[in-house]
Amino acid sequence: MIKSILYLLLLIAIPLQAQIKLLSWNIENLGSSKSDSTIVFIANTLKNYDVVALQEVVAGDGGAQAVAKLADELNRKGTKWEYTISDPTSSSAYKTERYAFLWKTAKVKKIGKAWLEQKFNLEIDREPFYATFEYNNKQFTVVNFHAITKNKQPETEIKYFKFLPAQYPDLNLLFVGDFNCPQSHTVFNPMKKMGYQSAFQNQKTSLKKECKEDNCLASEFDNIWFSTSKIKVINSEAIHFYNNFSTLKAARQVSDHIPITFSFTIK
């Protein structure tokens, strides 16, 4: 009986170890405005994931320092984390931001340097930030992206994503972040025809200013796109972190978006 239980526990544990857990989060204005308690809350939200992609890191005013504080807080929790931060994106000064990646060194290894997209940096306001990771001798590259706002027509930027798989034919690309555009938009059709699929459908991810009858989410903006020929989905989940706060106003001190997560294996 005991042997049977141990065998079942082993069967359960193996898939958990074999999968990679990725989290993407637009943390609004991640910089000096975030209090120490907010950094601790963010770290507690991230700690159970293997690779984290952050958008909207402030280009100045403590953005890089806030990511460093976040990594330090994660390292206090018993697991070694490393991080990398992009240079400021090449858009106009009031829109420019940084991206960040954080990862558990015991789970994945970063391959080479992370880089900002160069070819389409003029066509895309906040050009994506790439980082390649290796797990079990298989590699995947996370393309971290924050599109222009909905009223500025983010589809005019997203349309260039269909060229990126051909530009990086040897990379297993996962497109993650805040697209300010739902996955049902026709701009994603070329990617769908290429075998890419969104991890979320009809999942709203931005916060309203006020909840209405327990409905606190506004728009379907954040997502993760992956190649179905290269990636096997284990699970995808949105984290409704605002439920930990007494008011939506207090939750929005952390961010106006919720994190999205994606557990997968590489084929």
pLDDT band at 11 (very low <50, low <70, confident <90, very high): very low
pLDDT of the residue at 15: 57
Is pLDDT at 62 greater than 90 in this prediction?
yes
Q: How far apart are CA 10 and CA 159, in angstroms?
A: 45
Which helix (H) or strand (E) segment is 15 a member of?
helix 2-18
CA distances from 140 to 44, 109, 169, 199, 266 (A): 25, 11, 12, 16, 8
Tokens of 116: 């900002």
For the segment 123-138, the average pLDDT, to the nearest whole number, is 96
Is pLDDT at 94 greater than 90 in this prediction?
no
CB 152 within 8 A of CB 181: no
pLDDT of the residue at 7: 43
Q: What is the per-residue pLDDT across 183-212, written as a single tens digit (0 to 9) for each?
A: 999 999 999 999 999 999 999 999 999 999
Strand partners, 102: 52, 83
Task: Return the exposure string of 98-130: e unless at least 16 CB atoms fall within 10 Å of the residue's CB, then b.
Answer: bbbbbbbeebbebeeebebbeeeeeebbbbbbb
Share of the chain above pLDDT 90, in %: 88
Share of the chain above pLDDT 70, in %: 93
Q: Is 209 in a helix, a strand, or coil?
A: strand
Q: What is the number of H-type helices and E-type strands within the chain?
A: 7, 14
Would you mind telling me the total number of residues written for the chain in this entry? 267
What predicted TM-score, i.e. pTM, was given to this entire model? 0.92
pLDDT of the residue at 26: 98
For the segment 115-137, the average pLDDT, to the nearest whole number, is 95
pLDDT of the residue at 10: 44
Tokens 């939200």 belong to residue = 45
